[in-house]
Amino acid sequence: MESLRGKIVFITGASSGIGQATARAFAQQGARLLLCARRQEKLTAFAAELDAAEDVFTFRLDVRDRTAVEETLANLPEEWKAMDILVNNAGLSRGLNKLYEDDPQNWEEMLDTNVKGLLYVTRAIVPGMVERGRGHVINLGSTAGNQTYAKGTVYCASKAAEKVISEGLKLDLMGTPVRVTTVDPGMVETAFSEVRFHGNKDKAAKVYENLTPLEPEDVADAIVWAATRPPRVNIHSILLTSIDQANSNVVHRRVAS
């Protein structure tokens, strides 16, 4: 297992869910953490919880804002610039509606965040990795990018795009030691469904009713595992679901007693 001690890991969307669990998992391995999200107050509170606070740098960033991504990442403090690992985790779903009835605003948010935001951050960080001769890009995909489900077309399309972008980035990085991995989880219980349903907690809870979903720590484990393989190994993709899920469309729910 490759050591992560002292490595700089940049995680987008670290104010919640999988991003936070991933930050904790890397911190436990002695990594230094660069964490961003739109809600700075959440990042500040989270960083205070982590043991090695001096090894954590948080900043507000909306990955949809191309100029902000370029300027903020170009102007990071010198000691934080040489990133070893980028985890493109910031993402969201909005709505669960038939495509032909959906509000296009939902599409803008998903595509701007999950696709364009990931591209902007990647474009800003990867040249430095190539120049330094080391690096690893780990993108958050989903079962949704591997199999479409009804009423989730645009979210699924955004994760299918993530899959293609991960494949293409790997191709473009051939001849360099920079690695690319897509980690594709099934249902994970986080704020994800609450965000999808615009804050409706009851509707969100129903998504995970009578089944065992993945926990954010399960995904963090997979990410850290990919990051700790020997430098000669490129893990291309990890598809993981809970025991109660087979794919985007098949889940097992226990009958409520």
Q: Degrees (nearest 5) of the Cα angle 69, 184, 140? A: 10
- Across the strands, what pairs with 56? 33
Indicate left, alpha or beta for 178 from its phi (over 0: left) and psi (-120 to 50: alpha): beta
Among 142, 146, 182, 190, binds ligand 8X3 (CB under 6 A): 142
Q: 36 or 156, CB closer to ligand 8X3?
A: 156
Query: Residue 242: which of ligand 8X3, ligand NDP, none does it interact with, CB under 5 to 8 A by kind?
Result: none
Q: 3 or 200, CB closer to ligand NDP?
A: 200
Q: Degrees (nearest 5) of the Cα angle 52, 54, 56? A: 80
Q: Contact letters (x/-) for ligand NDP, 2-21, by CB under 6 A?
A: ----------xxxxxxxx--
In terms of C-beta density within 10 A (0-12 exposed, 13-18 middle, 19 or more buried), how is residue 43 classed? buried
By CB under 6 A, tell whether 106 contacts ligand 8X3: no
Cβ 185 vs Cβ 142: under 8 Å: yes
Q: 117 or 152, CB closer to ligand 8X3?
A: 152
By CB under 6 A, tell whether 25 contacts ligand NDP: no
Region 199-238 residues binding ligand NDP, contact defined as CB under 6 A = none
By CB under 6 A, tell whether 248 contacts ligand 8X3: yes
Rounded to whole angstroms, the Cα distance separating 30 from 32 reads 7
Q: Is 208 a catalytic residue?
A: no
Give the count of residues interacting with ligand NDP (CB under 6 A). Answer: 31
By CB under 6 A, tell whether 42 contacts ligand NDP: yes
| Single-letter amino acid, residue 104 | P
Q: 183 or 227, CB closer to ligand 8X3?
A: 183
Cβ 36 vs Cβ 59: under 8 Å: yes
Among 38, 132, 134, 151, binds ligand NDP (CB under 6 A): 38
Task: Tell me how far, at minimum, the Cβ of 5 lies from ligand NDP, in Å.
Answer: 25
Cβ 151 vs Cβ 96: under 8 Å: yes
Q: Which of 170, 90, 85, 172 is nearest to 129 (CA)?
A: 85
Q: 130 or 240, CB closer to ligand NDP?
A: 240
Cβ 224 vs Cβ 26: under 8 Å: yes
Place of tokens 């591997």: 146
Read off φ and ψ for residue 11, nearest 5 degrees: -120, 120
Among 106, 113, 143, 166, binds ligand 8X3 (CB under 6 A): 143
Query: Residue 241: which of ligand NDP, ligand 8X3, none does it interact with, CB under 5 to 8 A by kind?
Result: none
Read off φ and ψ for residue 191, nearest 5 degrees: -80, 0
Interacting residues toward ligand NDP by CB under 6 A: 12-19, 37-39, 42, 61-64, 89-92, 113, 117, 140, 142, 185, 187-188, 190-192, 195
Interacting residues toward ligand 8X3 by CB under 6 A: 142-144, 152, 155, 186-187, 248
Known catalytic residues?
A: 155
